[in-house]
Amino acid sequence: MKIKLSIFLLLGLLVLSACSMTQAIERDQEEEIDATIEHNFQQQPFVGTAEEADYFCKFTPLAPECYTPSEDLDFISPIPDEYTIEETFEFEMLNQMPSNWLLYSNAEYRSGGVSARVVQMDGFRAVRMYSDGLQKPPYPQAADTPTFIFTTKFNLDQDRKGIAYGSLMIPSEEGNSVSMGVATGAVNTISVTIGRDMKLSIKVGGPFFYYSGNNDAGVTYTTPYTLEKDTWYDFKFTWDAEINLIQAFIIIDSVEVLLHEGEFHESNRFNVLPQGMILVPNVFRVTMPSGRNVSGYSYLRNVSVERKGA
């Protein structure tokens, strides 16, 4: 019995000794691998088997050998893509606001106080626009800001020149004054205005974001034209920052009649400085005024922005 017990004790000691030796060998191997990883990480890219690489990547997950870069991460260009506009509204849903357009309102606006919906007219679709004239944006403070602000964006920032077209009509019943043109953000560049008396005028520049009431309000120019209700009128706008030129035309029987030609207004320059960089238009905008007894409708169709040749 004593002999058997001694044999079992001896076997147990041998097993423990073997385990201790195995653990010591494994520790030595781990230390050697860790040293190799540190050397490879500091000196050169890791080269080894897939199994060794997997172990290596547990400690250096951002090493070039440890992940495959996603192609989706490379799609953003540092230069924004340029794009234009072509809006006939023919494929928009009836009685809905057209896609790609924004209509401003805030919590103080009444429900239905402003609206812009696609309607079917005689052979074509257009946008029927309504404004109650009761509210307006709080900024720029003290500026003559409109109630109805209907916009869509484009980008010709690299060309820094372009051409825009749009058509307006004021109905004989509940017609409202309406303005249309291009802007840099919220700052008007050049636009036409058909007043409630149907007289046509041109607005160049302003008001600037931080309106001071001085020369950043823009300038209004009268024209000799008095238009008619229930009649569509086509307008064209051009700009070219390289030669500091903006223009507005009315198109009558396919003939372009110049309404205004001049330089960019100071409010379209960086920080409203006379020598500041010209900030070219990137918004096509339609507005209707705020004030008492200025509610009513107007209509819009055939909006486009295109590149301007040399």
Q: Is residue 41 part of a domain?
A: yes
Same domain (yes/no): 118, 6 = no
pTM of the entire structure?
0.75
pLDDT at 42 (0 to 100): 47
Residues 69 and 150 in one domain: no
Same domain, 137 and 250: yes
What is the percent of the chain where pLDDT is above 90? 62
**Is 80 domain-assigned?**
no
* Percent share of the chain, pLDDT over 70: 75
Q: Are residues 98 and 227 in the same domain?
A: yes
Above 50 in pLDDT, residue 222?
A: yes
Residues 113 and 205 in one domain: yes
Confidence at residue 292, expressed as pLDDT on a 0 to 100 scale = 85
- Residue 299: CATH number of its domain: 2.60.120.200
Amino acid 44: pLDDT: 47
Does residue 164 sit in the same domain as residue 231? yes
Q: Which of 74, 96, 129 is the last residue of a domain?
A: 74
User: Residue 200's pLDDT band (boundaries 50, 70, 90)?
Assistant: very high
Residues 92 and 18 in one domain: no
Q: Is the pLDDT of residue 187 over 80?
A: yes
Domain ends where: 34, 50, 74? 74
The 10s digit of each residue's pLDDT in 65-124 is: 776 666 655 556 667 789 999 999 999 999 999 999 999 999 999 999 999 999 999 999
143/54 same-domain check: no
The DSSP-derived string for the chain is -HHHHHHHHHHHHHHHHHHHHHHHHHHHHHHHHHHHHHHHHHHS---S-HHHHHHHHHH-TTSGGG----GGGG---SSPPPB-EEE--TTSPTTSPPTT-EE---TTSPTTSEEEEEEE-SSSEEEEEEE------S-STTS---SEEEEEE-B-TTT-EEEEEEEEE--SSSB--EEEEEEETTEEEEEEEE-TT-EEEEEES---TT--SSTTS-EEEEEEEE--TT--EEEEEEEETTTTEEEEEEEETTEEEEEEEEPPPGGGBGGG-TTSPB----EEEEEE--STT--EEEEEEEEEEE----
- State pLDDT tens for residues 292-301: 889 999 999 9
Total tally of structural domains belonging to the chain: 2
Residue 12 in domain? yes
Are residue 240 and residue 298 in the same domain, yes or no?
yes
Q: What is the pLDDT of residue 74?
A: 58
**Could you list the residue range(s) of the whole structural domain that residue 57 is in?**
2-74
Higher pLDDT, residue 19 or 203:
203
Query: Is the pLDDT at 282 greater than 80, yes or no?
Result: yes
pLDDT of residue 184: 95
Residue 33 located in a structural domain: yes
Residue 79 lies in a domain: no
With respect to residue 274, please indicate whether it lies within any of the assigned structural domains. yes
Tell me: pLDDT of 150 over 80: yes
What are the tens digits of pLDDT across the range 12-57? 555 555 555 556 556 666 666 555 545 544 444 545 565 555 566 7
Q: Are residues 91 and 61 in the same domain?
A: no
Residues 89 and 227 in one domain: yes
Averaged pLDDT score across all residues of the chain: 85
Q: Are residues 170 and 203 in the same domain?
A: yes
Choose the final residue of a domain: 74, 102, 134: 74
